[in-house]
Every structure is written in C-alpha cells, then in structure tokens.
Amino acid sequence: MKYHRVKVEERTQLGSYILLRYRWNDAHIEPGQFAMVRAAGYPVTLDPFLARPFSFYDYDGEMASLLFEIRGRGTALLDLTPTIEVTVPLGKGFRIEPGLGRPALLGGGIGVAPLKILGRRLDAVGVPHDVFLGFADAESSVVAREFPGAHVATMDGSVGTHGTVLDAAGALTDYGAIYSCGPNPMLAAVKLGAAENTLCQLSVEERMGCGNGSCNGCVVPVRGGDYVRSCIEGPVFPAEALAW
C-alpha cells in the first residue's frame, strides 16, 4: 500500500481528542472513508510497525483533517511529529440519498469523527439534518463545539442530557435516514431503534492491521453466517446486513 508523506499544517487539542489538518488533493474523500496513518520514519524506525486507521473528520477540497485520541505509542507519536504518512481514502463510505426525509446523525465518543464531513456533504446538497453526539464526560464533549446545534449527552451528566446519545436523540422512527458511528453496542441500539425500511447506515470501529483486506483482522459478522472485512466491504454497512 502506498503512503503519502504530508506536513501537519495544524494541530488542535479538542478536550481529550487531537485534530490534525494537512493539505490533500491526491484523491477525493467521501464521508465515512478512512486512511491508514503513521508517523513519518517508516521503514527506517519501524516505530510503530502498524499504521492506525482513522476516519476522515473533514475535507474542504484542499485540507483534510483527522480526529483521534491518544491510546498508545502509535497515536502518541502522531501527536508529536511534524510530518505524517497517510494512504489515499479507503473503504466504503456513507450513501447519501436526498428526498428520504430528515436524516439523523448519531456519534458516540471518537465515533463522532466521520459525522463532520458527512454533515458538510449534506449541507452541500441542501439536506437539513439533526446531529446527536454522546460522550463519557465534559472533557471528551469539547469536540461538540465543532457541531453547531448538535444535541449532546454525557454518561456522567456533566454536559447536556444525562445518558447515552440515544437518550439525547429520543425516538428515531420519525427520521427518513439514520447515519451512525460508534462502539458496536451503540450501533446495535441504533439499529434496533430505527424504523423498519429506513435507510440506516452504521460505521463500525474495528481494529485494522493492514487496511487492504490482507490480514482479516477487522471482520464483522453479517447475516447468513459469514464474516466480511470492514476495511474493504465497510466500514459503513447497511444496518440490516450486520448480524447483531
């Protein structure tokens, strides 16, 4: 897989998350797609050996941005290095279908990341939408300031609704389309709450080793008893396709 070395143009701390921006005009980015990212230096240092998968947070045609939190050495290095290496956009993103009715966008934790670029695209095609974001606490909810008008929930009740993103959203059955990203239990609850035959698309957060379908480390169960790779067939899936 080819990596492109890019300069970090801007680095911003948003509560417990880091936002990186870099110039990008190599390939178009669709909402819900992701990139494999690593600190510049490979293969000289092999540190880290594996790149990390990040959903694209935003893209305006010139600048791309990634939102992540520091969870280990690989992400810590990305917060320090002035240059990173990224792939072209990978995976299948959200399918936008205007005319289905008002959409709801639901994100949990770092799963809010792909909703920023999705909201930008919906605005571009003139589709009003509601945004619901769920976090653990006030520190992680700081990123919600990037989503004007969003409804916020925190598990400790420090900001917005006390509870999960579904507590903030309430009934989902009135929405014509639902787009969601977050931990699997949250996505399963969104799937259960969506009206039958509603366009409901879920972006999974599986660990990835390669990003090109070689390692089979990011498989998810689908109806019929099979497993598919979230880096190739996903990470966005129709809710009805997932076997949970």
Q: Quick one: tokens of 216?
A: 């089979």
Higher-scoring residue by pLDDT: 27, 116: 116
Mean pLDDT score across all residues of the chain: 94
- Predicted confidence at residue 154, as pLDDT, reads 98
- Predicted confidence at residue 197, as pLDDT, reads 87
Mean pLDDT of 169-184: 96
pLDDT band at 43 (very low <50, low <70, confident <90, very high): low
pLDDT of residue 147 exceeding 90: yes
Largest CA distance in the chain: 54
Helix/strand/coil for 242 = strand
Least confident of 73-77, 119-123, 141-145: 73-77
Structural domains of the chain ordered from first start: 4-86 (2.40.30.10), 103-205 (3.40.50.80)
Mean pLDDT of 205-210: 92
Least confident of 29-43, 121-135, 170-184: 29-43
pLDDT of residue 47 exceeding 80: no
Q: What is the 3-state secondary structure (H, E, C) of 74-132?
A: HHHHHCCCCEEEECCCECECCCCCCCCCCEEEEEEHHHHHHHHHHHHHHHHCCCCCEEE
What pLDDT, in 10s, does the model give residues 120-142?
Answer: 999 999 999 999 999 999 999 99
Distance (Å, whole) CA 100 – CA 62: 30
Helix and strand numbers, DSSP H then E, in the chain: 4, 16
pLDDT of residue 114 exceeding 80: yes
- Predicted confidence at residue 202, as pLDDT, reads 98
* CB-count exposure of residue 173 (10 Å: 0-12, 13-18, 19+): exposed
Q: Is-contact 166 151, C-beta < 8 A? A: no
- Predicted confidence at residue 199, as pLDDT, reads 96
- Predicted confidence at residue 42, as pLDDT, reads 61
- Predicted confidence at residue 238, as pLDDT, reads 97
- Predicted confidence at residue 212, as pLDDT, reads 93
Mean pLDDT of 188-202: 95
- Predicted confidence at residue 74, as pLDDT, reads 85
pLDDT band at 44 (very low <50, low <70, confident <90, very high): low
